[in-house]
């Protein structure tokens, strides 16, 4: 039997979470070391999966399937394709760096790491799930600890409000998606006679055929259910007009959670919207694509403008995530090769970039205890590593060539050109706006004169922090200079999506 | 050695990056080591480009020393490099000016490590634009160069640096937005980014095909303007020039040298490499508009320079004036492509790019020399300095004369050729440009008079303010520039031969 590597990846954080929970809460160092060991292990395994994915074979690989509740057609079925493999790697990276920079959390580290790993396990689960029920199962596992992490360890002023807002938004979204999923389950059962949640079965041609009768109107099944399913998941991806939980959530969360939140959780929404919405309901995707394109365009441009006027350092990054996730949705909505390859790369690139951003913001905030741009300044002398990392992240975010943001955004724009050139022209405004707010934030926070009250209070960052920042920067450089490290892989995944859509 | 000779262009291109990496590992307080490493390693690309110049065969059409590697297969972009006579000249200029600018920066004592690293990265960014034969790679390097320049101005500039650096960055980035969109459109239409292939296929398209729901003519025209505006901002052409005086004035001396010496040439290079080959019909159609903008740049640049009281701003405006001549030559060539007059104008334009690189870099350096000593650039506070600093004064007059277009020095050769070529094609505009040339003489003489002649400002003659003479290091920066200025002025054939053959084959 083949080594069940994906299951090991999924259960490493879950088991680690359990072990940490059972440890003595006073022995903080042991807890930290356990957490780091688990994170390194998961990262190494995800690197291994990434590099041993066989590109000549393509399709879903590292498959495992066990019956779970055969009566209802539910199985434990996992596997990765070209789109999810980079995301598994991303989760491994964010988990590793997240543990490193939370090393000095003093308030109940046991519970903190336990919940963080529960979250990570859920995220891994969604990315590898090939069974719709399992996908929901892990999805909820990922969302639930978020509430506690924000409400307990978050920023005192808004944590309760933000945690509540976030959780309600996301649960509302997943309820819609769940109803849609059940409808799909019945439809597949009626069409094929086999009641199953197995997505590989559900995506077969004809499985989702049929009409929905409502108020005497006959609407094709896929067209009717696409919107609740896609938007339900896309809420977690921050799609307009359901995006406003995300900046609040980002800001209120403690640093490592913000990294997870913006770096990985938002990808979770986008990924599930693709996997369940577009891949299972392709006709619906074709029907509604211009709506999605329009919403995503608003995300891209409006998010950038809102980020421009923020004075809170962390809110700037929060809204920039809204803008950048809009590009992912824009890429999906093109439903063509370039756009979707770009969207796949952008998910990875944005994840790494935004994790870096939040890590940097957290390091500044921990020392200055303020995030207001007018109150900050001159941090480059005390925190050169943070400044350089933030600048690199900022360059990625404005799509500077040579870094990963460019190789991701460029194909997205190409894809949009192919479809609606005017949308590409409008969306491109966001590039200049992004350059504007990034440069302004960099200048206000890191350059200029340091306010007197900070003199001598800004302690240097630790070696672990440097490793975390360095790793993330390195990944962005590597992908930006050698896009072929990832693009062909994503392209294989995209080809499969296009096959379902009836093209290519 | 074998590796280097087969990968000559990649070596030239990436050597500065390697040097920057090496400097990263030198401790920040070893200022001397950092300076010398930067200087010596910037001499390597210069040596290699002299090798390239000697090994280059001007009689072969097309690109030489080509290298092509897989880069981004998903969108059919390859890492494709090559040189022809045009890019070779620009590569030589870049690799020559970078070591001089680094030598000029030896007086920088604040954050030397970061400064030198940025400078070397800047060199790679500029070289990449000249070497790229793939449109996407062209754009990659085009944008990369902005980042180090932004930080050089923002961190080492003078009082108003924040405003100037942000203006520079946003202006250029917004300008290249149209270029980016047009490049994407070309990529979508032709599924390739290879400059040579694109130029052929794009120029061949006739009006019958319909793209993006619009007629080819419309699409081409919009794309033409997208390219033109991006490059016009970089040149800069009136009315897109307003970032330049700010950026130049605030930039550190060496930053201004590179900005005027090389960065402005990127825009003109874009016109020659992309606009004319891609859009011959549109270029001919709108040659009058381009010529109008060029003449406006020439005249306004000259009047603007004359009106300045800040020495550095005066030199900055003179760049607008001189680069206007480059565009005038290009416009003339666009209007009557293939004729003898057009070729002469083009030769003049390319030579003017090279010459302006030499004289503008020299002028900015000389402004920097006096600024370091007096901490002012206000022309009204100088006066009669020649007896105090005769060597400096002589050098300043020499370079000013080159900039003015004195026969026997390089500026005369190129400006004469541009005017000779465009006279037959665009007589009215050329005549108007002469008005600008007159003012060129006026503002340069005004600059020399205000600084060197007239009554001596006693403030600089005694005590702690006593003006000191230009030192050996500073003279060493100027000597190569002055030699080239004189050599090209007296015997331009060695460089014109390469340029001319390239222009004959290109157009």
What does the radius of gyration of chain A's CA atoms come to, in whole angstroms? Answer: 22
**3-class SS shares of chain A: helix, strand, coil, % to 5:** 75, 5, 20
Alpha-carbon torsion, ordered B46, B51, B54, B55, to 10 deg:
-140
Helix (H, G, I), strand (E, B) or coil at A168: helix
Specify if B262 maps to a domain.
no
CA distances from B259 to B121, B253, B263, B432 (A): 14, 10, 5, 28
Instruction: Provide the pLDDT confidence category of residue B132 given band limits of 50, 70 and 90.
Output: very high
Specify if B501 maps to a domain.
yes
Judging contacts by C-beta atoms under 8 Å, the chain A residues touching residue B147 are: 395, 400
Judging contacts by C-beta atoms under 8 Å, the chain B residues touching residue A407 are: 72
For the cut 60, the answer to whether the pLDDT of residue A9 exceeds it is yes
Judging contacts by C-beta atoms under 8 Å, the chain A residues touching residue B143 are: 400-401
Q: What is the bridge-based pairing of β-strands A217-220 and B64-72? A: unpaired
Instruction: Provide the pLDDT confidence category of residue A215 given band limits of 50, 70 and 90.
Output: confident
**Average pLDDT in chain A:** 87
> For residue B391, how many other CB atoms are within 10 A of its CB?
13
Distance from CA of A432 to the nearest CA of B (A): 6
- Parse chain A into domains and list their residue ranges: 5-501
Distance from CA of A445 to the nearest CA of B (A): 13
Distance CA A416, CA B188 (A): 10
**Average pLDDT in chain B:** 88
The residue among A456 and B129 whose pLDDT is bigger is: B129
Helix (H, G, I), strand (E, B) or coil at A423: helix
Numbered residues of chain A with Cβ closer than 8 Å to any chain B Cβ:
337-338, 341, 395, 398, 400-402, 406-407, 410-411, 413-414, 417-418, 421, 424-425, 428-429, 431-432, 435-436, 439-440, 443, 447, 482-484, 487-488, 490-491
B226 and B274 in contact (C-beta within 8 Å)? no
Which pLDDT value is given to residue B207? Answer: 58
Instruction: Provide the pLDDT confidence category of residue B145 given band limits of 50, 70 and 90.
Output: confident
Q: Residue A74's beta-bridge partner residues?
A: A69
B312 HSE (CA, 13 A, CB side): 29
Helices A429-446 and A384-397 pack at an angle, to 10 degrees, of 170
Which pLDDT value is given to residue A504? Answer: 40
Q: What is the ipTM of this complex?
A: 0.84
Closest to B71 (Cβ–Cβ): which among A443, A484, A491? A484
Specify if B236 maps to a domain.
no
Judging contacts by C-beta atoms under 8 Å, the chain B residues touching residue A327 are: none
Structure tokens at A476: 């962005």
Distance from CA of A176 to the nearest CA of B (A): 36
pLDDT digits (tens, 9 = 90+) for B64-105: 888 888 888 888 888 999 998 889 999 999 999 999 999 998
Which pLDDT value is given to residue B220? Answer: 83
Which pLDDT value is given to residue B211? Answer: 64
B190, exposed or middle or buried, with CB in 10 Å at 0-12, 13-18, 19+? middle
Distance CA A99, CA A87 (A): 18
Distance from CA of A404 to the nearest CA of B (A): 12
pLDDT digits (tens, 9 = 90+) for B227-236: 999 999 988 8
Q: Pick from A242, A348, A328: which is nearest to A278 by CA?
A: A328
Q: Over A169-207, what HEC string results?
A: HHHHHHHHHHHHHHHHHHHHHHHHCCCCCEHHHHCCCCC
Closest to B185 (Cβ–Cβ): which among A395, A401, A421? A421
Range of the domain at B444: 286-507
Number of domains in chain B: 1
Is A338's CB within 8 Å of B75's CB? Answer: yes
Distance CA A410, CA A430 (A): 13
Count of helix runs (H) and strand runs (E) in chain B:
23, 4
For the cut 60, the answer to whether the pLDDT of residue A503 exceeds it is no
Is B150's CB within 8 Å of A439's CB? Answer: yes
For the cut 90, the answer to whether the pLDDT of residue A344 exceeds it is yes
Is A483's CB within 8 Å of B70's CB? Answer: no
For the cut 90, the answer to whether the pLDDT of residue A475 exceeds it is yes
Interior/surface letters B463-481, b for 16+ CB within 10 angstroms, e for the rest: eeeebeebeeebeebbebb
Distance CA B323, CA B488 (A): 18
Is A414's CB within 8 Å of B184's CB? Answer: yes
pLDDT digits (tens, 9 = 90+) for B285-315: 899 999 999 999 999 999 999 988 888 999 9
Distance CA A73, CA A195 (A): 6
Distance CA B101, CA A34 (A): 53
Helix (H, G, I), strand (E, B) or coil at A141: helix
Instruction: Provide the pLDDT confidence category of residue B31 given band limits of 50, 70 and 90.
Output: confident
CA distances from B433 to B297, B303, B315, B489 (A): 9, 12, 19, 22
Specify if B417 maps to a domain.
yes
Residues in Cβ contact with B214 at an 8 Å cutoff, skipping those fewer than 6 apart? none
B99 and B46 in contact (C-beta within 8 Å)? yes
Specify if B272 maps to a domain.
no
For the cut 70, the answer to whether the pLDDT of residue A320 exceeds it is yes
Structure tokens at A195: 């009641």
Tell me what the mean pLDDT of segment B452-469 comes to.
81
Instruction: Provide the pLDDT confidence category of residue A370 given band limits of 50, 70 and 90.
Output: confident
Q: What percent of chain B has pLDDT over 90?
A: 31
Distance CA B340, CA B350 (A): 16
List of E strands, A283-370: none
Distance from CA of A134 to the nearest CA of B (A): 32
pLDDT digits (tens, 9 = 90+) for B402-447: 888 888 888 888 988 998 989 888 889 999 988 888 888 899 998 8
Specify if B189 maps to a domain.
no
Specify if B502 maps to a domain.
yes
The residue among A27 and B363 whose pLDDT is bigger is: B363
Q: Residue B80's beta-bridge partner residues?
A: B68
What does the radius of gyration of chain B's CA atoms come to, in whole angstroms? Answer: 22
Q: Pick from A53, A123, A136, A114: which is nearest to A92 by CA?
A: A123
For the cut 90, the answer to whether the pLDDT of residue B4 exceeds it is no
State which residue of chain A sits closest to B186, comparing Cα positions.
A414
pLDDT digits (tens, 9 = 90+) for B8-28: 898 999 999 999 999 989 888
Handedness of CA B370, B375, B380, B386 (dihedral sign): negative
Specify if B500 maps to a domain.
yes
DSSP H helices, A421-501, are: 421-427, 429-446, 463-481, 487-501
Q: Residue B211's beta-bridge partner residues?
A: B214
Do you know the residue count of chain A?
504
Which pLDDT value is given to residue B212? Answer: 64
Q: What percent of chain A has pLDDT over 70?
A: 99
């Amino acid at each position: 039997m083949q080594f069940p590597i994906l299951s090991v990846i999924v259960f490493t954080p879950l088991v680690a979470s359990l072990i940490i929970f059972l440890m003595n809460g006073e022995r903080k160092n042991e807890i930290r070391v356990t957490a780091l060991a688990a994170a390194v292990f998961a990262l190494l395994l995800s690197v291994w999966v990434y590099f041993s994915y066989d590109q000549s074979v393509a399709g879903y690989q590292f498959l495992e399937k066990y019956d779970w509740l055969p009566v209802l057609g539910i199985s434990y079925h996992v596997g990765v394709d070209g789109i999810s493999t980079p995301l598994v790697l991303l989760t491994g990276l964010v988990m590793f760096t997240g543990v490193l920079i939370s090393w000095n959390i003093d308030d109940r580290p046991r519970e903190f790491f336990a919940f963080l790993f529960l979250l990570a396990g859920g995220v891994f689960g969604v990315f590898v799930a090939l069974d719709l029920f399992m996908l929901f199962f892990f999805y909820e596992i990922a969302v639930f600890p978020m509430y506690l992490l924000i409400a307990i360890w978050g920023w005192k002023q808004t944590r309760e409000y933000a945690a509540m807002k976030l959780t309600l938004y996301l649960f509302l979204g997943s309820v819609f998606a769940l109803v849609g999923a059940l409808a799909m389950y019945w439809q597949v059962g009626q069409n094929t006679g086999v009641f199953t949640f197995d997505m590989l079965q559900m995506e077969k041609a004809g499985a989702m055929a049929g009409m929905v009768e409502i108020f005497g109107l006959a609407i094709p099944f896929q067209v009717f259910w696409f919107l609740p399913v896609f938007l339900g998941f896309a809420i977690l991806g921050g799609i307009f007009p359901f995006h406003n939980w995300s900046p609040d959530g980002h800001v209120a969360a403690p640093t490592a959670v913000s990294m997870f939140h913006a770096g990985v959780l938002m990808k979770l929404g986008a990924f599930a919207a693709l996997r369940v919405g577009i891949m299972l309901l392709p006709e619906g995707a074709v029907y509604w694509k211009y709506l999605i394109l329009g919403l995503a365009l608003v995300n891209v441009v409006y998010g950038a403008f809102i980020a421009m006027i923020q004075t809170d350092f962390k809110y700037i990054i929060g809204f920039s995530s809204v803008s950048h996730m809009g590009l992912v949705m824009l890429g999906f909505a093109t439903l063509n090769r370039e756009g979707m390859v770009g969207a796949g790369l952008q998910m990875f690139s944005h994840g790494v970039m935004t994790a870096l951003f939040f890590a940097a913001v957290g390091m500044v905030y921990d020392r200055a205890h303020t995030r207001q741009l007018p109150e900050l300044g001159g941090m480059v002398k005390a925190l050169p590593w943070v400044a350089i990392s933030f600048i690199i992240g900022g360059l990625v975010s404005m799509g500077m060539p040579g870094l990963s943001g460019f190789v991701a955004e460029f194909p997205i724009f190409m894809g949009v050109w192919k479809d609606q050139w005017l949308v590409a022209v409008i969306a491109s405004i966001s590039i200049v706006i992004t350059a504007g707010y990034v440069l302004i934030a960099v200048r206000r926070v890191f350059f200029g004169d340091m306010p007197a009250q900070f003199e001598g209070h800004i302690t240097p960052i630790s070696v672990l922090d440097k490793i975390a920042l360095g790793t993330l920067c390195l990944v962005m450089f590597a992908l930006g200079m050698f896009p072929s490290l990832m693009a062909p892989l994503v392209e294989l995944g995209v080809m499969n999506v296009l096959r379902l859509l009836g093209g290519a | 050695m074998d590796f280097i000779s087969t990968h000559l262009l990649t070596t030239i291109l990436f050597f500065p990056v390697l040097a920057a990496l090496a400097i990263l590992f030198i401790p920040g307080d070893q200022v001397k080591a950092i300076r010398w490493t930067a200087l010596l390693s910037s001499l390597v690309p210069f040596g290699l480009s002299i090798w390239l110049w000697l090994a280059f065969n001007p009689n072969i059409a097309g690109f030489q020393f080509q290298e092509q590697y897989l880069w981004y297969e998903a969108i059919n972009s390859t890492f494709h490099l090559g040189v022809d006579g045009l890019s070779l000249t620009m590569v030589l200029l870049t690799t020559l000016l970078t070591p001089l600018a680094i030598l000029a920066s030896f007086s920088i004592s604040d954050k030397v490590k970061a400064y030198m690293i940025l400078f070397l990265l800047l060199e790679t960014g500029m070289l990449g634009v000249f070497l790229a034969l793939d449109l996407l790679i062209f754009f990659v390097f085009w944008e990369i160069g902005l980042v180090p320049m932004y930080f050089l101005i923002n961190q080492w500039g003078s009082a108003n640096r924040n405003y100037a650096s942000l203006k520079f960055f946003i202006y250029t980035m917004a300008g290249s937005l149209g270029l980016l969109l047009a490049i994407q459109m070309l990529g979508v239409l032709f599924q390739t980014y290879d400059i040579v292939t694109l130029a052929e296929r794009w120029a061949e398209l006739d009006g019958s095909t319909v793209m993006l729901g619009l007629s080819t003519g419309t699409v081409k025209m919009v794309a033409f303007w997208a390219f033109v505006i991006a490059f016009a901002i970089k040149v800069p052409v009136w009315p897109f020039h307003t970032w330049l005086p700010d950026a130049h004035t605030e930039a550190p001396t060496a930053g201004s040298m590179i900005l005027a010496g090389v960065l402005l040439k990127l825009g003109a290079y874009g016109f020659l490499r992309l606009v004319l080959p891609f859009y011959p019909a549109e270029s001919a159609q709108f040659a009058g508009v381009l010529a109008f903008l060029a003449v406006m740049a020439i005249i306004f640049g000259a009047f603007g320079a004359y009106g300045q009281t800040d020495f550095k701003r005066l030199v900055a405006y003179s760049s607008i004036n001189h680069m206007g001549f480059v565009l005038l030559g290009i416009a003339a060539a666009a209007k009557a492509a293939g004729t003898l007059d057009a070729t002469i104008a083009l030769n003049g334009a390319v030579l003017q790019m090279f010459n302006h690189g030499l004289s503008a870099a020299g002028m900015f350096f000389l402004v920097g020399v006096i600024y370091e000593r007096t901490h002012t650039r206000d022309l009204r506070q100088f006066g009669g300095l020649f007896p105090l600093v005769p060597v400096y004064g002589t050098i300043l007059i020499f370079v000013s004369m080159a900039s003015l277009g004195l026969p026997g020095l390089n500026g005369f050769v190129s400006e004469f050729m541009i005017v000779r070529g465009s006279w037959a094609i665009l007589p009215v505009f050329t005549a108007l440009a002469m008005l600008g040339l007159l003012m060129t003489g006026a503002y340069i003489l005004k600059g020399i008079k205000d600084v060197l002649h007239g009554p001596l400002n006693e403030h600089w003659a005694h005590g702690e303010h006593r003006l000191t003479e230009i030192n050996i290091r500073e003279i060493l920066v100027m000597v190569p520039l002055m030699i080239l200025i004189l050599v090209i002025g007296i015997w331009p054939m060695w460089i014109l031969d390469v340029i001319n053959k390239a222009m004959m084959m290109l157009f």
